[in-house]
Amino acid sequence: MKPASKPWITQRLLTLKAYRRDGMRSDLLAGLLVSVLLIPQSLAYAMLAGLPPQIGLYASLLPLLAYAVWGSSPVLGIGPVAVLALMIAQALGGLPPGVSPSEAALVLAAEVGLILLLASALRLDALASLLSVPVLHGFETGATLTIAMSQLPVLLGSPAQGFELPGLWASMQATGFAWHGLSAGFGLLACATLLAGRRWLPPGSARLVPMALLLAAMGLAWAIDGLSRGVALVGTLPPLDLHLSLPRLNGELWWQLAPSALLIALIAYVSSLVVAEALARRRSEKVQAGAELRGLAAANLCAALSGGMPVAGSFSRSVLLHEAGSRSRASGVFVALFMGLAMLLLAGPLAWLPKSVLAATILVAVLSGLKFQPFVEAWRYARPEALLMAGVSAIVLCWSVTAALALGVLGSIALLLQRTAQPHVALIGRVPGTEHYRNVGRHAVECQPGVLGLRIDESLLFTNARSLSDVVQGLLNQERQEVHRVVLLMSPVNSIDFSGLEALRELHAHLKRQGLRLDLSEVKGPVLDRLRAADWQQWFEGQVFLSHHQGMVAGEAQA
């Protein structure tokens, strides 16, 4: 056994040596750049979630290490994200007496991690398909506008609070639309600085603007003694304390947060997987969906054990890692190390950071990704899906994230059922001089006397099988000539469930009562195997032809 282990050790040492020569420098640079961006975002998103700012910093340390061990993407930036912060804020409303938001955030992170871990164990990678593209676009747009609106009072130094539009408007009316001039000055100047940096500076320099802005804002607030002038500040952060502890074991609290945790877990996985796969395609790499589930589960469990909040993959940080040349998941480790150093060195100065400046960083960050083009494209292509997209956005704005996601999933299912409720059956004829058969409504074809050629364009499932006989009979009624036989081209049919089998039996009996015979052509092997396993020969009296042309020729010979 010892001689066999030597080559493995040698290979590992060579790999480490090659990484130190080629990859470590890139990962170090990428980690430094992302940590600069992550510091203001972590503080801002924790504040957005209604949590103390240091919670966002804690969520940016050990979770990154956990994802580096169990994840699969070398560029996915794990940490607090804006959409999850909004969902967390709504989930933490109406907590039981004696439970602080920080304690509830730990429980929420633990539940999210356990849900993702269970999904990984059960190999439920298909969870991503629950959210269709219209629902995702609508949710992202609604969440972006909601986040922006919720930060307007903070930006202007107003005591108003709220996320949904009705609640925010009522809060602003109750406070008399009050605002604080100096706080608003800090916030508006910060917005102008960030926008100018994005507009006029090269990308490499623009990435450093948020950190430079924070340093300048802290210095200015200290110089003018902003606290005595009424400027809302972040306040003194507690010292770095990452001792591990279990979340609060309160059955009522865990049960109350479970529905929100399920939705947060779904959004965290879907959004992270979309970002990871999009960047993997740019790099000609592959992302393992199962590994992403495990990595996100481990990251959220570490956040629950180390005083953090639920985390996911961030698009902005992931793109920055990709553009900075990240070579491996070790870049996430370097991000965590730089973040830890920042917490040790900048804890004092961060106390002077105006909250309105943090609100400005959130506003500019989220509004930069706001896109209305998908609504226009969807309206041109499929108006029901465009209406679903707009409806999800409106529900997020006016009601809640949970209701929007639930109704979005139900709407997607309803549209799917509507599209598949009736199988598409086309009347087909032969293209002259060939053995190819096409739709008579789209091509100049020849129809065979005495035989009706039909093509079923989808699988026969419980959602559509019930109307098969009615569709075929409708096409029969349109024929002006006498028909002796019906031949179904089955090549597009990938599956027939039990409802489809019963629909096929009903069609066979229906045609037999009219003196017509039902034949099939080009039935796929797996479909035919299932039909044979169901002993369909006991009632099926027609023939199964290898090609549709053979079936039509046989009909011609009989005629």
Q: In this predicted model, what pLDDT tens digit does every residue of 228-247 receive, in sequence order? A: 999 988 777 666 777 788 89
* Class at the top of the CATH hierarchy for domain 425-558: alpha beta
Under the banding of pLDDT at 50, 70 and 90, the label for residue 21 is low
Q: Does 556 have pLDDT greater than 60?
A: no
**How open is the CA angle 24-30-35, to the nearest 5 degrees?**
125
Under the banding of pLDDT at 50, 70 and 90, the label for residue 188 is very high
Q: Does 323 have pLDDT greater than 70?
A: no
Under the banding of pLDDT at 50, 70 and 90, the label for residue 8 is very low
Taken in order 386, 388, 391, 392, is the CA torsion positive or negative? negative
What tokens were used for 34? Answer: 């992302």
Q: Give the pLDDT score at 320.
A: 66
Output the CA–CA distances (angstroms, integers) from residue 481 to 101, 238, 279, 470, 550, in the order listed: 76, 87, 58, 19, 21
Q: Does 205 have pLDDT greater than 60?
A: yes
Q: 455-471, pLDDT tens digit by residue? A: 998 888 888 888 888 88
Q: Does 227 have pLDDT greater than 90?
A: no
What tokens were used for 111? Answer: 């539940």
Q: What are the structural domain ranges in the chain? A: 2-133+180-357, 425-558
Phi, psi of 208 (to 5 degrees): -85, -10
Cα–Cα distance measured from residue 297 to residue 308, given in angstroms and rounded to the nearest whole number: 14
Query: DSSP secondary structure string, 35-63?
Result: HHHHHHHHHHHHHHTTS-HHHHHHTTSHH
What does R_g of the chain's alpha carbons equal in angstroms? 30
Partners of residue 434 on adjacent β-strands = none
What tokens were used for 160? Answer: 């108003």
pTM greater than the 0.75 cutoff: no
- Count of all residues that appear for the chain in the document: 559
Long-range Cβ pairs for the range 115-121 (8 Å, 24+): 115/261, 115/262, 115/265, 116/265, 116/268, 116/269, 116/293, 116/294, 116/296, 116/297, 116/300, 117/293, 117/294, 117/297, 117/298, 117/301, 119/265, 119/269, 119/293, 119/297, 120/290, 120/293, 120/294, 120/297
Q: 356-405, pLDDT tens digit by residue? A: 988 888 788 778 778 888 899 999 998 999 999 999 899 988 887 778 87
Is 512 in contact with 490 (CB distance < 8 Å)? Answer: no
Lowest mean pLDDT among 131-135, 198-202, 319-323: 319-323
Mean pLDDT of 5-30: 58
Is 545 in contact with 520 (CB distance < 8 Å)? Answer: yes
Q: Give the pLDDT score at 1.
A: 43
What tokens were used for 259? Answer: 């529905």
